[in-house]
Amino acid sequence: MTANLTNILSLARIIFLDGIRRYALLGLLLLSLFSEAMGLFFMDFVSHDVGRASSDFLFSIMWLGGMLFLLFHAVQVIAWDEERGVIYSILSRPLSRSAYVIGVFVGLAVLLTLLLLSLGLVAYLTLNWIQDALDPIYFPVFSSSHFILTWLGIVVAQLTILSVIMLFSGLVRGGFPVLLLSLAYYAICTGLPTVRESIESETATNGGNESTLIFLKLLSSIFPDLTRLDYKNSVLSDMLPLSVTEISTDFSIVSLYAIIMMTFACMAYVRRDLQ
Amino acid sequence: MIRLQNIHKTYPRQLGTPEYKALDDISFQLQKGETMGLIGANGAGKSTTIKLILDFIRPDKGRITVLGRNPSYPLIRQQIGYLPEVARFPQNLTCMEMIRFAGETCGLSRSEVAKAAEKWLLRLDLWESRERLLRGFSKGMQQRASFAMALIHEPELLILDEPMSGLDPIGRAKIVELILELKREGRSILFCTHLLDDINRLVDKLLVLHNGQIRYEGYLDSFCNSEQSVEEAFLALVAKGDASL
């Protein structure tokens, strides 16, 4: 157990070091930070509800930065290892296939969390600065604890997407197919709640469509609604949108889903021939 | 140390690639302290054999035992040093970081890694370059770094896939000398090559693969006589086998 943990951490460290020295990732970090700093100018173009507009803008940049990391770096890591033959140097060590998948996940998770942490910090400072610069009528409340909750929501949602990327990387060869599958997955996860909502309201009004609703509910267990972890509307309010129990349940369900995806990812990779 | 029994391996058909039979009923064993040369032309099945031994791929039929265990058991690799045909590393790491990874995964402490790294990096002329990024290394330096990774944990069994690949004559001579030293220390070595010049200096036993089948397994003395080089004997054996088909 301890040996396995040491192996996972050793691999995670090289994945982290290799990633942090990539110019593309440094570029992504700088671009995202620059875009967030632009939030200071952005507020000048908004006449009403400056706080909400700025907060939405900053969280969108944070989400986008994380997604760019996932779709242009994370989807490639296992594919690069296989295409370049690095996998043979790694798996010739006493490292199980599962430890390899978990090690890559941990390394990427640390990189992603650091990226989001830097963006979160700049977003927090920017929002504070905007609030200080404005009359309280335009930006009355800014809740630090709700800001952290929203940031945590983004981190957990994107780590969940990362676990799905690990699964796809174990199932198919090559970075591009993994990218396509991940994009399709994300599109379905984003679109499904809207479809469900629409069918639900139609069923409530006209009746029928029960089987479609059941099918959509089943689909939601495969393609979870990650917007459940989106609390950005609470950042500018003293009130939480949901109770603490409901929020904890949402986090637990999504985290459990990520653990299940990682288990499947390990199972898929253990069976794979590394030709 | 290594035992392969009736191994069959066929690579399945993939987009644009037909099904390919890589190994057809291969059986052999490497005993403790022996050095075996695995030779054959390109596509003979040498790399497939090595990938099977290291559990990178699985056989369709047959049984493989490495150090008394199934090769899928990861801990046996604490006693195996593997040198891939082409050394590949994550390009943004330094030589020392990769060595540290290799040592830690084999259960060495930080101080043991530092001591072993100094020994092998000095021996392989990489000590001065240990903090340089691997992407700046020449092909020969990468091959030597890979050798250092394979030896860092003092393994009992060495699997060397084309160890001389990419090395200049000086580097090659040093590696030959190192392999001879490891052989003298009593380590078991399986090494795969298509460069036959150094074979007679390095190996005790020879395994000749051609088109996925074993054409010869035995001692070097009985493979070629005093008037025939290993290369001539190999070509004659392959030609004889092809003619009988």
Q: How many CB pairs under 8 A join A and B?
A: 88
Instruction: Please determine, for residue B241, whether its predicted confidence score (pLDDT) is greater than 70.
Output: no
Give the H/E segment covering residue A129.
helix A97-133
CB B4 within 8 Å of CB B48 = no
Q: Who among B51, B74, B97 is closest to A14 (CB)?
A: B97
Instruction: Please determine, for residue B239, whether its predicted confidence score (pLDDT) is greater than 80.
Output: no
Instruction: Please determine, for residue A209, whether its predicted confidence score (pLDDT) is greater than 90.
Output: no
Any domain includes B199: yes
- Going by C-alpha positions, the residue among A78, A33, A60 that lies closest to residue A182 is A78
- Chain B positions contacting chain A at CB under 8 Å are 11, 51, 54-58, 74-78, 80, 82, 84, 86-93, 97-98, 100-102, 104-107, 133, 146, 149-150
Any domain includes A248: yes
ipTM of this predicted structure? 0.88
Reading the block at residue A110, the tokens are 């640390």
Instruction: Please determine, for residue A117, whether its predicted confidence score (pLDDT) is greater than 90.
Output: yes
Instruction: Answer yes or no: do B11 and B59 share one domain.
Output: yes
Mean pLDDT of B118-130: 91
Any domain includes B111: yes
Task: Give me the number of domains chain B comprises.
Answer: 2
Record: contact A91-B104, CB cut-off 8 A: no
More confident residue, A50 or B134: B134
- Chain A positions contacting chain B at CB under 8 Å are 3, 6-7, 10-11, 13-15, 17-19, 21-22, 84-89, 91-96, 99, 273-275
Residues of A in Cβ contact (< 8 Å) with B58:
273
Instruction: Answer yes or no: do B4 and B55 share one domain.
Output: yes
Instruction: Answer yes or no: do B168 and B52 share one domain.
Output: yes
Instruction: Answer yes or no: do B114 and B161 share one domain.
Output: no
Any domain includes A130: yes
In whole angstroms, what separates CA A146 from the centre of its chain? 18
Residues of B in Cβ contact (< 8 Å) with A275:
11, 51, 57
Instruction: Answer yes or no: do B15 and B27 share one domain.
Output: yes
Instruction: Answer yes or no: do B5 and B46 share one domain.
Output: yes
DSSP annotation of A74? I
Residue of A nearest to B88 (CA): A86
Instruction: Please determine, for residue B130, whether its predicted confidence score (pLDDT) is greater than 70.
Output: yes
Any domain includes B186: yes
Beta-bridged to residue B159, according to DSSP, are B82, B190
**pLDDT band at residue A111, thresholds of 50, 70 and 90?**
very high
Residues of A in Cβ contact (< 8 Å) with B76:
94
Cα(A273)–Cα(B58) distance, integer angstroms: 7
Any domain includes B12: yes
Cα(B81)–Cα(A60) distance, integer angstroms: 48
| Type of residue numbered A208 | G
CB A42 within 8 Å of CB A127 = no
**pLDDT score at A71:** 93
Q: Are strands B205-210 and B188-193 parallel, antiparallel or unpaired?
A: unpaired
Instruction: Please determine, for residue A261, whether its predicted confidence score (pLDDT) is greater than 60.
Output: yes
Domain of B162, CATH number, reads 3.40.50.300
Residues of B in Cβ contact (< 8 Å) with A87:
56
Residue of B nearest to A11 (CA): B101
Record: contact A93-B106, CB cut-off 8 A: yes
Record: contact B105-A18, CB cut-off 8 A: no
Instruction: Answer yes or no: do B28 and B132 share one domain.
Output: no
Q: Testing the interface with B: which of A8, A88, A100 to mutate, by most B Cβ within 10 A?
A: A88
CB B96 within 8 Å of CB B104 = no
**pLDDT band at residue B103, thresholds of 50, 70 and 90?**
very high
Residue of B nearest to A7 (CA): B105
**pLDDT band at residue A206, thresholds of 50, 70 and 90?**
confident
- Domain endpoint, select from B136, B155, B174: B155
Mean pLDDT of B99-111: 92
**pLDDT score at A210:** 78
Q: Who among B75, B82, B90 is closest to A92 (CB)?
A: B82
- Residue-wise pLDDT for B135-178, tens only, equals 898 888 888 899 999 999 999 999 998 888 777 888 888 888 88
Any domain includes B48: yes
**pLDDT score at B64:** 93
- Residue-wise pLDDT for B214-236, tens only, equals 888 888 777 777 677 777 778 87
Task: Give me the number of domains chain A comprises.
Answer: 1
Record: contact B77-A273, CB cut-off 8 A: no
| Type of residue numbered A17 | L
Record: contact A13-B101, CB cut-off 8 A: yes
Any domain includes B79: no
Any domain includes A129: yes
- Residue-wise pLDDT for B9-61, tens only, equals 988 887 777 888 888 888 999 989 889 989 888 888 888 999 999 999 999 99
Domain range for B102 is 88-155
Which contacts qualify for A181-190: CB closer than 8 Å, 24 or more apart?
Answer: A182/A70, A182/A71, A182/A75, A183/A71, A185/A161, A185/A223, A186/A67, A186/A161, A188/A219, A188/A223, A189/A223, A189/A224, A189/A225, A189/A226, A190/A226, A190/A227
Domain range for A243 is 2-270
Q: State the Rg of chain B over Cα.
A: 18
Q: What is the mean pLDDT of chain B?
A: 87
Record: contact A14-B90, CB cut-off 8 A: yes
Grouping H, G, I as helix, E, B as strand and the rest as coil, residue B185 is coil
- The strand ranges marked E within chain A are none
Residues of B in Cβ contact (< 8 Å) with A14:
90, 93, 97-98, 101
Instruction: Answer yes or no: do B205 and B168 share one domain.
Output: yes
**pLDDT score at A47:** 67
pTM reported for the whole predicted model: 0.90
Cα(B105)–Cα(B100) distance, integer angstroms: 8
Instruction: Please determine, for residue A98, whether its predicted confidence score (pLDDT) is greater than 90.
Output: yes
Instruction: Please determine, for residue B245, whether its predicted confidence score (pLDDT) is greater than 60.
Output: no
Mean pLDDT of B111-129: 92
Instruction: Please determine, for residue A222, whether its predicted confidence score (pLDDT) is greater than 80.
Output: yes
User: What single string gives the DSSP state of each residue in A167-216?
Assistant: HHHHHSSSHHHHHHHHHHHHHHHHHHHHHHHHHHHHHHHH---HHHHHHH
**pLDDT score at B243:** 64
Q: What is the mean pLDDT of chain A?
A: 89
CB B160 within 8 Å of CB B168 = no
Any domain includes A275: no
Any domain includes A180: yes
Q: Who among B77, B84, B133 is closest to A89 (CB)?
A: B84
Instruction: Answer yes or no: do B144 and B198 share one domain.
Output: no
Helix axes A144-171, A175-206, angle to 10 degrees: 120
Residue of A nearest to B105 (CA): A7
Record: contact A94-B77, CB cut-off 8 A: yes
Mean pLDDT of A238-263: 89
Any domain includes A37: yes
- Residue-wise pLDDT for A118-174, tens only, equals 999 999 998 888 888 887 877 788 888 899 999 999 999 999 999 999 999 999 988
Q: Testing the interface with A: which of B104, B154, B190, B192 to mutate, by most A Cβ within 10 A?
A: B104
**pLDDT score at A64:** 94
How many Cβ atoms sit within 10 Å of the Cβ of residue A195?
13
Nearest-neighbour CA in chain B from A99: distance (Å): 10
Any domain includes A163: yes
Instruction: Answer yes or no: do B187 and B199 share one domain.
Output: yes
Record: contact B56-A88, CB cut-off 8 A: yes
